[in-house]
């Protein structure tokens, strides 16, 4: 629940109710007064409760930045952290030559950083936030490399008429291979095995009349 409307005899009472229900502090919310409380005749007849709308502040960017900066500091890595919040996506890009140390083999370390950051951000978030982290545009470069790789392997399968089983890949990279070859008229793809050893298999399409 990110938005809550509450009534009270006073604005302060309504706010206290809202903070208790959301289990947050005043610094965590924005408050909009919808109706001021009024006192009727003799302070009894015609009394009107005050009404406020309380909205939780989005701290996902602040939390993610702090978490990643702590990791960079602990590893003595200098780098710039760029964060863009787009709907429910938190898009993070690390810049700087030293930050490439966090990519790892085939992006394994980068994937781990993304996973841990997502856990930290969503622990405090009131809604599901998807965290996407890239380092020096590694993911885009890797995607283009995999697309070219898939094309070359498809040609080998057609030429030799033999199925090729690729090395184990994470779900993100397997999707790239499948997508790159989904419209190929000569080969088909499927995955087999269990993560983290699940692999893409490229084989000839069977001829059907």
Give the 3-state secondary structure of residue 129: coil
Assess whether pLDDT exceeds 50 at residue 7. yes
Beta strand residue intervals within the chain, DSSP E: 3-8, 29-35, 50-56, 80-86, 89-95, 130-135, 164-165, 187-192, 199-204
- The count of residues in the chain is 209
Give CA–CA dist 158/190, Å, rounded: 16
Residue 176 near residue 184 (C-beta atoms within 8 A): no
Assess whether pLDDT exceeds 90 at residue 10. no
Sketch out the chain's domains with CATH numbers. Answer: 3-56 (3.30.30), 60-136 (3.30.300.20), 140-204 (3.30.1370.50)
* Residue pLDDT, tens place only, 13-67: 888 988 888 888 888 888 888 888 887 655 555 578 888 898 888 888 899 999 9
Q: pTM of the prediction?
A: 0.67
* Residue pLDDT, tens place only, 116-169: 999 999 886 666 889 999 999 999 999 999 999 999 999 999 999 999 999 998
**Res 209: pLDDT:** 36
């Amino acid at each position: 629940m990110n938005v809550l409307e509450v009534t009270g005899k006073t604005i302060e009472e309504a706010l206290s109710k809202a903070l208790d229900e959301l289990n947050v502090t005043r610094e965590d919310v924005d408050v909009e007064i919808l109706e001021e409380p009024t006192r009727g005749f003799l302070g009894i007849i015609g009394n009107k409760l005050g009404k406020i709308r309380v909205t939780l502040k989005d701290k996902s960017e602040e939390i993610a930045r702090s978490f990643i900066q702590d990791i960079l500091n602990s590893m003595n890595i200098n780098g710039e952290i760029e964060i863009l919040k787009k709907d429910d996506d938190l898009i993070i890009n690390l810049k700087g030559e030293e930050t490439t140390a966090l990519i790892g083999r085939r992006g394994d370390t980068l994937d781990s950083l993304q996973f841990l950051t997502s856990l930290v951000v969503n622990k405090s978030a009131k809604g599901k936030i998807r965290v996407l982290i890239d380092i020096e545009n590694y993911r885009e470069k890797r995607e283009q490399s995999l697309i070219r790789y898939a094309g070359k392997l498809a040609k080998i399968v057609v030429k030799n008429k033999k199925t090729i089983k690729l090395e184990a890949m994470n779900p993100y990279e397997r999707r790239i291979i499948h997508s790159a070859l989904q419209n190929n008229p000569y080969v088909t793809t499927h995955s087999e095995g269990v993560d983290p050893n699940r692999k893409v298999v490229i084989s000839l399409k069977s001829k059907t009349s």
